[in-house]
């Protein structure tokens, strides 16, 4: 049995934490380490996590005993004064004792069978991918796009890797530099690019490709309940998050260019075109023009038109267009 660490950043989630706690109590995999990282919450979130950690650890492991027995589980609370979920995740990653780790958000529900099922699928791979189910304020839901062995350009178009969709060898995600702490949004787009390529976080624009490409595994199940709401990190509007999205795109652009992969670069151009179309639907064509990249070729122009006129599934058209691109 492998020790697995679940890393969860927390910021002002006192209303959703009880729901998360209930889902974590239902996880019967052992040995297990749950790491909460409080990001200087201003509400009662830290106190709630502190009480949960005490109660959970008291119930699952002898006081002050090392976490080494196959039937042990412990929860601990750390602090991260630097703003941002990525900084908090990296604090948890540095402290994690598990051979494998996964990341979760404090406003969602964890699936009880996620860890044993993913461990069964991962074999000798570095990363195991799955899908999650998204729930929206109007009561509707849908399964996030995902499939076996996604390419980098698949991910850039369809977001195959998001925070809650993967189990990873702890040493591998540490080797690629963990989470990019300067990004306030779209962190999973950026991390997914590096998880799939083995690229470390770029330093002053210089590529570092010292980590080998990962071995990928796939689990066909759909896990977790992921709630979309205005107070989530991504929010419900591209316009409201524009500045943070633009900052993230600039970082992802640099990393995509460093791979010297024409299809990856084109996929990112198509993603920008789709985003421009969404901004136009939201009534902000001026913001759309401020996005990076020249998109005057046919497919980017068509994607902007298609999405801005209400077309859905623009990423599927982008994947189709990539068939005409030679690497």
Q: Which 3 state secondary structure label does DSSP give 264?
A: helix
Output the six-digit token pair for 169: 């060898």
**Residue pLDDT, tens place only, 262-321:** 999 999 999 999 999 999 999 999 999 898 777 788 999 999 999 999 999 999 999 999
pLDDT for the residue numbered 234:
47
Q: How far apart are CA 270 and CA 210, in angstroms?
A: 28
- Parse the chain into domains and list their residue ranges: 1-107, 242-322
- Taken as a whole, the chain contains a residue count of 327
User: How far apart, in whole angstroms, are the C-alpha atoms of residue 106 and residue 92?
Assistant: 14
Provide the pLDDT for residue 202.
Answer: 61
* Record: fold of 1-107: Spore Coat Polysaccharide Biosynthesis Protein SpsA; Chain A (3.90.550)
| Residue 69: pLDDT over 90 | no
Residue 207 CA to residue 256 CA, distance in Å, equals 10
pTM: 0.91
- Residue partners of 26: CB distance under 8 A and separation at least 6: 110, 112
pLDDT, one tens digit per residue, over 127-180 is 999 999 999 999 999 999 999 999 999 999 999 999 999 999 999 999 999 999
Model confidence at 58: pLDDT above 90: no
Task: Report the pLDDT averaged over residues 234-256.
Answer: 85
Residue 204 is predicted with a pLDDT of 40
Could you give the count of Cα atoms lying within 13 Å of 295 in the half-sphere of its Cβ? 26
Indicate the burial class of 311 (C-beta count within 10 angstroms; 0-12, 13-18, 19 or more): middle
The whole-number pLDDT of residue 231 equals 60
- Least confident piece of the model among 52-56, 95-99, 163-167, 255-259: 255-259
Could you give the CA distance from residue 316 to residue 327 in angstroms, rounded to a whole number? 19
Long-range contacts of 70-75 (CB under 8 A, 24+ apart): 70/1, 70/30, 70/31, 71/30, 71/31, 72/30, 72/31, 72/32, 73/30, 73/31, 73/32, 73/33, 73/34, 74/32, 74/33, 74/34, 75/24, 75/33, 75/34, 75/35, 75/36
CA neighbor of 109 nearest in space, from 192, 263, 223, 211: 223
More confident residue, 204 or 101: 101
pLDDT exceeds 50 at position 206: no
């Amino acid at each position: 049995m492998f020790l697995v660490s679940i890393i969860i950043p927390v910021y002002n989630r006192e209303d959703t934490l009880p729901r998360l706690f209930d889902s974590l109590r239902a996880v019967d995999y052992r040995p297990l380490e749950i790491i909460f990282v409080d990001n200087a919450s201003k509400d009662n979130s830290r106190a709630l996590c502190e009480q949960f950690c005490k109660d959970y650890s008291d119930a699952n492991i002898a006081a002050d005993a090392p976490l080494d027995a196959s039937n042990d589980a412990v929860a601990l609370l750390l602090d991260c004064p630097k703003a941002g979920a990525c900084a908090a995740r990296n604090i948890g990653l540095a402290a994690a004792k598990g051979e494998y780790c996964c990341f979760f958000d404090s406003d969602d529900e964890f699936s009880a069978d996620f860890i044993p099922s993913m461990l069964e699928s991962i074999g000798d791979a570095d990363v195991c991918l799955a899908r999650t189910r998204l729930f929206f304020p109007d009561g509707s839901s849908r399964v996030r796009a995902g499939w076996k062995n996604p390419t980098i350009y698949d991910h850039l178009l369809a977001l195959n890797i998001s925070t809650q969709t993967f189990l990873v060898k702890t040493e591998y995600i540490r080797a690629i530099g963990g989470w990019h702490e300067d990004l306030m949004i779209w962190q999973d787009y950026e991390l997914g690019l590096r998880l799939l390529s083995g690229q470390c976080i770029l330093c002053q624009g210089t590529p570092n490709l010292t980590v080998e490409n990962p071995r990928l595994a796939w689990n066909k199940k759909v896990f977790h309940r992921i709630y979309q709401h205005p107070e989530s990190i991504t929010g419900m509007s591209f316009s409201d998050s524009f500045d943070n999205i633009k900052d993230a795109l600039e970082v992802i652009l640099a990393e995509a260019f460093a791979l010297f992969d024409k299809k990856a670069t084109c996929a990112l151009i198509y993603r920008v075109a789709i985003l421009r179309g969404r901004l136009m639907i939201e009534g902000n064509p001026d913001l759309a023009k401020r996005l990076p990249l020249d998109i005057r070729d046919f497919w980017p122009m068509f994607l902007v038109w298609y999405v801005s006129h209400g077309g859905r599934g623009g990423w599927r058209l982008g994947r189709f267009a990539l068939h005409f691109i030679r690497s």
